[in-house]
Amino acid sequence: MNIEIKKNSKFSNLVNFSQNHEERVHRWFKIKEGYSKELVFAIIKQLDVKEGYIVDFFNGSGTTSLAAKEIGYKYYGFEINPFLHLLSVVKITDYNKNDIKNIISTKKFILSDYTKVKKVNNIKLSILEKVFRENLDNILKVRTIILGIKSKKIRNFFIIALVSILEDVGYSKKDGNGLKYPKNKQAKEFVSKFSAQTDLMLDDIIKNNKKNIKKSRVILADSRNIPKRYINEIKNETSLIIFSPPYANCFDYSEVYKLELWLSDYIKEYKDLSVVRKQSLSSHLNKHLKDYNDYDLLINDIEKLKQKKLWSKKIPSMLNGYFFDMEEVLKNAFNILKKGGHCVIIVGNSAYGGHIIKTDVILSKIGLRLGFSKVEINIARKLRASSQQAKLFKNGEALRESVIIMTK
């Protein structure tokens, strides 16, 4: 069976998050690795999806789940990063009038009482002073009050209000695989930014009158190993799976989101990070990588990489792990989809030593092997490679981001 590969510029502006920046609720946190809700709508329209669950195996900040909620579809999302999971849960929650009253009075209480906090809940992350400087004291005081809020629903709302503004009130910036400290970075005053963020979130939930369809949810779970009870719930009830996995580009989400993980109180010790890493896809070098055999569809690439000078010896092992992992995810996808249902993957290729790993083609081949009857690769746009990699590409070669559509 052939894989159809074509350019499809319709998707080029939709495969990044920037179109969500002005969208209610989506705009609470700008996730660089996300896509736009309009991509989900475009795919639902193109594939004529009418009913059944919409599932996202790499839920991230919840774009798919929120889009499904907006148009009245049932959804399930799976995510292993506890901060991103919480962010999605707070975004998709239905808030009633009582919750809103509660949020308004709690905000007043936080802003009037934080200065009275004598003893703050400390955080062991060593870079806090460097990141937050003059804002740190107030951040810790406000955080201490928030962590003491009794109602989980209200506490979670405020945790997200706090951790979603950390980049605005600090001197660090997410950049590639971690935090950088640009010289000209300005930090906003924390208390007024926190107050404004709470108002923005409140306004969005007041104006958003969409309600969840019964049984929709976002779950903290590893998509390679989804507990049976969830599989049973959505098996043969799923019409569309849409997700963007981490790319095979060495980015470690637990490193990129470490401030949010520590400040939301999910990470209390450095060793807690290894739990998140262990569950994450083998797309980065910070997790313990097994001694994998070469993945059969990757053997030629691994041979080529052996002749290159790579910046880490672990890269071939990571790539093998990546495709073994994605095979597990795709098995789950095939298993839960209805006959005629679709699995749509937004993914970028990557390069090492100037050699391009065609992730979109390899995932498509895995899909066909698992039994998908039709697979097409829609090339959405070119991706910028690092200047080191780009120098090594042969004539005209480039990285790309694709929308793969597999049909069961």
Ligand X SMILES: C[S@@+](CC[C@H](N)C(=O)[O-])C[C@H]1O[C@@H](n2cnc3c(N)ncnc32)[C@H](O)[C@@H]1O
With tokens 């090492």, the residue in question is 352
**Span interacting with ligand X, options 93-101, 218-226, 262-270, 291-299, rule CB under 6 A:** 218-226
Structure tokens at 382: 């070119």
CB of 67 to ligand X, least distance (A): 9
CB of 17 to ligand X, least distance (A): 6
CB of 92 to ligand X, least distance (A): 12
Single residue of 23, 167, 222, 401 touching ligand X by CB under 6 A:
222
Q: Tell me which residues in 364-383 interact with ligand X (CB under 6 A).
A: none
**Residue 110 or 363 with smaller CB distance to ligand X:** 363
Single residue of 174, 224, 277, 284 touching ligand X by CB under 6 A:
224
CA distance 279 to 23: 31
Single residue of 61, 216, 349, 350 touching ligand X by CB under 6 A:
61
Residues contacting residue 213 through CB under 8 Å, at least 6 positions apart = 69, 72, 73, 74, 75
* Chain centroid to CA 148: 28
Count of residues of this chain found to bind ligand X when the rule CB under 6 A is applied? 23
**Residue 80 or 240 with smaller CB distance to ligand X:** 80
CA distance 204 to 275: 34
Please choose, from the candidates 227, 214, 215, 202, the residue with its C-alpha nearest in 3D space to the C-alpha of residue 332: 227
Site membership for ligand X, residue 33 (CB under 6 A) = yes
DSSP for 81-116, please give it: -HHHHHHHHHHH----HHHHHHHHHHHHHHHHHGGG
**Residue 280 or 364 with smaller CB distance to ligand X:** 280
CA distance 159 to 93: 14
Site membership for ligand X, residue 60 (CB under 6 A) = yes
CA distance 331 to 274: 26
Site membership for ligand X, residue 250 (CB under 6 A) = no
Site membership for ligand X, residue 260 (CB under 6 A) = no
CB of 40 to ligand X, least distance (A): 9
CB of 196 to ligand X, least distance (A): 23
Site membership for ligand X, residue 76 (CB under 6 A) = no
Mask for 279-298, x = binds ligand X (CB under 6 A): xxx-----------------
64-68's contacts with Cβ under 8 Å and 24+ in sequence apart are: 64/40, 64/242, 64/243, 65/91, 65/92, 65/216, 65/218, 66/25, 66/26, 66/37, 66/91, 66/92, 67/37, 67/40, 67/41, 68/40, 68/216
Please choose, from the candidates 256, 34, 52, the residue with its C-alpha nearest in 3D space to the C-alpha of residue 25: 34
**Residue 31 or 163 with smaller CB distance to ligand X:** 31
**Residue 28 or 171 with smaller CB distance to ligand X:** 28
Residues contacting residue 226 through CB under 8 Å, at least 6 positions apart = 78, 332
Mask for 164-203, x = binds ligand X (CB under 6 A): ----------------------------------------
Site membership for ligand X, residue 81 (CB under 6 A) = yes
**Span interacting with ligand X, options 231-239, 242-250, 335-343, 385-393, rule CB under 6 A:** 242-250
β-strand pairing of 374-383 with 355-357: unpaired
CB of 18 to ligand X, least distance (A): 11
CB 106 within 8 A of CB 142: no
Please, is 200 exposed, middle or buried when counting C-beta atoms within 10 Å of its C-beta (0-12, 13-18, 19+)? middle
Site membership for ligand X, residue 35 (CB under 6 A) = yes
Site membership for ligand X, residue 161 (CB under 6 A) = no
138 phi, psi to nearest 5 deg: -70, -35
**Residue 188 or 314 with smaller CB distance to ligand X:** 314
β-strand pairing of 355-357 with 173-175: unpaired
Query: Can you state the percent helix, strand and coil of the chain, rounding each to 5?
Result: 45, 15, 40
**Span interacting with ligand X, options 42-50, 72-80, 108-116, 290-298, rule CB under 6 A:** 72-80
Site membership for ligand X, residue 237 (CB under 6 A) = no
Single residue of 25, 40, 54, 84 touching ligand X by CB under 6 A:
84
Residues contacting residue 307 through CB under 8 Å, at least 6 positions apart = none
Residue nearest to ligand X (CB): 60
CB of 258 to ligand X, least distance (A): 12
In the complex, which residues of this chain contact ligand X (CB under 6 A)?
A: 31, 33-35, 58, 60-61, 63, 78-81, 84, 222-224, 244-246, 253, 279-281
